[in-house]
Structure 1
Amino acid sequence: MGQETKEIEENRKTRHKMVVVGPHISIITLNVNGLNSPIKRHRVAGWIKEQDPTICCLQETHLSPKDKHRLRVKGWRTILQANNEQKKAAVAILISDKVDFKAKQIKKDKEGQYIMIKGTLHQEDITLINIHAPNTGAPKFVKQLLIELKEDINNNTIIVGDLNTPLTPMDRTSRQKINKEIIELNEKLDQMDLIDIYRTLHPKTAGYTFFSSAHGTFSRIDHILGNKA
């Protein structure tokens, strides 16, 4: 009986240690298509609170560098953003107050199309890259960005965002073949040991994130990529 109690106690301690070392992290990503309207900001803030993620990545906020206060959501005080002066594009990362996050390095571009933060989350290293690829030449842009950030990308890297690119024929209702640029992007992802997490978990489920009213087609152009490990 004493031995059994001891084992239960040991298991409890191990479980507790696991919770401390590797707490659950949830990351959500959304192209908000402009946040200059107060009603829209209110809706997005409500959505973030409802989802209650660890990290929230937003694309196309269309906010200028001095508009940081417009991204404030109660419970997510850490806000990092990349903007351009024309109030186009712009990406932002919000980190929950519930986690112990320390930023060590931030990289971003003047066009507001990506932001990379390296830091620690509960003492574990994490690199997070939030991308909003342009509407034209998106696969080329993403591939070039991966090459530029190659030194920063490791086992603890998560890449999220609106890549404006379906990575497989299954990511489009039209089921058209993927072009040369997308093939090259996939090759680059493979070389860097990066995988499309959704497609890995759901190899046969379509699941779309965008509807084009001009073409009447659905596609999955928003992705979360992680290391194979």
Structure 2
Amino acid sequence: MSNKMAALSPHISTITLNVNGLNSPIKRHRVATWIKEQDPTICCLQERHLSSNEKHRLRVKGWKTILQANGKQKKAGAAILTSDKADFKIRQIKRDKKGQNIIIKGTFHQEDITLINIYAPNTAAPKYIKQLLTNLKKDINYNTIILGDLNIPLTSMDRTSRQQINKERVELNEKLDQMDLLDIYRTLHPKTAEYTFFSSAHGTFSRIDYVLGNKASLNKFKKIKIITSIFSDHNAMKLEINYKKKAEKRTQMWRLKTCY
């Protein structure tokens, strides 16, 4: 009964992390252990550096469903893992041939959800993201969550260096606003300066890993935090989403009347 109750929980947690390569067996073991400790409903990984026939190399007990997008070479790579405990039903999967993104559509707690896991390229990241959003316009709605390594800080608060925001960043932020997408972390923590990446080459900290959601779903976003990672040059971000109100309404809808 406890397992069934867990499966019907109205809470969902998503976690995203750039793992910076998974070719080492020791590192794969550490990542798998870390995922089990964090216990998310959905786990999004970027920069896996695995080929399409190496899906088995990252096995996590309790996360049988591993969906991945990989290029021909062992570069980039994005993956989405879903917990066996979650009542998550996948209807559609879209994979980028270069391994820069993967999209899944499905239902959680009988509610539609679209997840877009992005690993933006190191060069021309704003242009890439802007074009991707344009291409996916029909797929993005109020139940869409975009996670991943965008490879660019969206605001001046998201980095320790004080460079001016260039035109490409401004245009990208305008595009996000046009599509009613917001940076959930910055929305819930408007004055907090926390970072997810350290550049040893430039000696700067920045937040280039993001979780974006629709403005209409802001009341569902319960909590978001940055989680330190010791096996990657990135930190993770974890979001908790609450579908409780909608679930309660459904319960009331299906409640039988007692007649006397």
TM-score in terms of structure 2 length: 0.79
Of 192, 195, 206, 1:219 maps to 206
Query: What is the DSSP-based 3-state SS (H/G/I as helix, E as strand, rest coil) of the residue aligned with 1:76?
Result: coil
5+ long unaligned stretches in structure 2: 1-5, 217-260
2:32 aligned with 1:45, yes or no? yes
Counting only pairs closer than 5 Å after superposition, residues 1-229 of structure 1 correspond to structure 2 as 23-229=10-216
Which structure: larger Rg? Answer: 1
Structure with the bigger percentage of helix: 1
State the match for 2:256 in structure 1: none
Query: What is the DSSP-based 3-state SS (H/G/I as helix, E as strand, rest coil) of the residue aligned with 2:213?
Result: strand
Number of residue pairs matched? 211
Could you tell me how far apart the structure 1 residues matched to 2:65 and 2:7 are? 21
CA-to-partner distance for each residue in 1:128-170, whole Å, 9 max, x for gaps? 0000000000011001000000000000000000000100000
Q: CA deviation at 1:221?
A: 0.2
Could you tell me how far apart the structure 2 residues matched to 1:91 and 1:196 are? 20
5+ long unaligned stretches in structure 1: 1-18
Q: 1:85 to 1:137 in 2, by over 3 A?
A: same
Question: Residue type matched to 1:209 in 2?
Answer: T
CA-to-partner distance for each residue in 1:161-215, whole Å, 9 max, x for gaps? 0000100000010122211111000000000000000000111111100000010
Q: CA deviation at 1:22?
A: 6.7
Q: Write out the 4+ residue segments of structure 1 that deviate beyond 6 Å after TM superposition.
A: 19-22
RCO (CA 8 Å, sep 6+): is it higher in 1 or 2? Answer: 2
Question: Residue type matched to 2:98 in 1?
Answer: E
CA contact (8 A) 2:79 2:102 kept: yes
TM-score in terms of structure 1 length: 0.90
Percent of residue pairs bearing the same amino acid type: 80
